[in-house]
Amino acid sequence: MSKFAYLKTRARDLVVGVGCAAMLAGCAQFKYYFQAAQGQYSLWSESRPVEDWLGDPATDPKLRARLEKALFIRRFAVKELGLPDNASYKNYAALNRPFVLWNVVATPELSLRPIQWCFPIAGCVAYRGYYNKEDALAYAEELRAEGDDVQVGGVPAYSTLGWFSDPLLSTFINYSDAELARMVFHELAHQVVYIAGDSRFNEAFATAVEEAGVDRWLELYGNEAMREAYLRYSARRKDFVALLVKHRQMLADLYASKASVKKKREEKARIFAALHEEYKVLKANWGGYAGYDRFFSEKLTNAHLAAVATYNDLLPGFRALLAKEKDFKHFYAAVQRMSNLPSVERHDRLLQLASQMAQPAPTVLAEKQSPTAGGH
């Protein structure tokens, strides 16, 4: 049996195994787990090795070029970033949908703390994923009926954490070179270190790897136009995150206050209206760039801002740790050691690292030291 056929068999076994386990958890859980296992298996069934696509005369030339670029990025990830050298991102699947799945995120009406769902392998996470958009929307309506704030967002890629060989997908293969590299680096980083139930740690770590990886990629293989385009992208992303963080803090302060429920609801509506208006100004300053319009495609809720902290709170600490360790091998080893600590302690250490990095060095040392590479 070929390795590819073996892995497909593993995916089929996952459908059976998860389905049997879910039967023990009740009808609703069975239905959810079955769609998840079936969706993963379907993804596998639709994928073929990239080499097969490249060897097929019927493959569109544009797709051929993107797949060749993806393989080059994959080799770079192993050689330059020390990311896993396995079967992930060496297969390709063409999907007839804009996203591989849709995540449902929810919070209570007057709280920014996301509702958690717990699963095998991944642990407890702040989202529930569906391979069918209509299923995601239906579940979102159930949560809204219970009074929760809800967001449904499309996901172009995800990681199975090395349990299976994640394929390249049509949902992101046409990204720019730098964006394609960013996606691959981020998802592969989840295979290096992943702590079940600690999304803040996991996502900030993967984001730090993605940032530093793209920096190195552009340094070695980018041209001036690519670097300028990615700098513009990064600047817009930074501006947008800052906008969300600002209004998220306003909401956090409001919900922690002693104001009445009625007053909190009124202020909540005002804060979200202000967020939308400030985005319009930001968009105009970007020259009309509309890449973040999708965020506002449905009514803004707490759920829209729940993940902001997940990806960003601990990121400065990981950037500082990478700068301190100076290379990816030692960085990964340090993160592995940190992952063995209790969650509060590892979070505190990252916050301390970020604080230390933010402090200016003494003048006498600054004249002798040269800045180290790693991160933004």
69-126: per-residue pLDDT in tens?
999 999 999 999 999 999 999 999 999 999 999 999 999 999 999 999 988 767 788 8
**Comparison of pLDDT for 14 and 200, the residue scoring more:** 200
Domain layout of the chain by residue ranges: 1-45
Q: Does the pLDDT at position 19 exceed 50?
A: no
What is the band of 3 on the pLDDT scale with cuts at 50, 70, 90?
A: very low
| Backbone angle region of 119, left / alpha / beta, with phi > 0 → left and psi within -120 to 50 → alpha | beta
Task: Assign 119 to helix, strand or coil.
Answer: strand
The pLDDT of residue 28:
64
| Backbone angle region of 288, left / alpha / beta, with phi > 0 → left and psi within -120 to 50 → alpha | left
The pLDDT of residue 12:
45
What is the pTM for the complete model shown?
A: 0.84
Q: For 190-327, where are the alpha helices, taking DSSP H only?
A: 199-221, 224-256, 261-285, 302-306, 308-312, 315-325
307-318: per-residue pLDDT in tens?
887 788 899 999
Q: Does the pLDDT at position 217 exceed 50?
A: yes
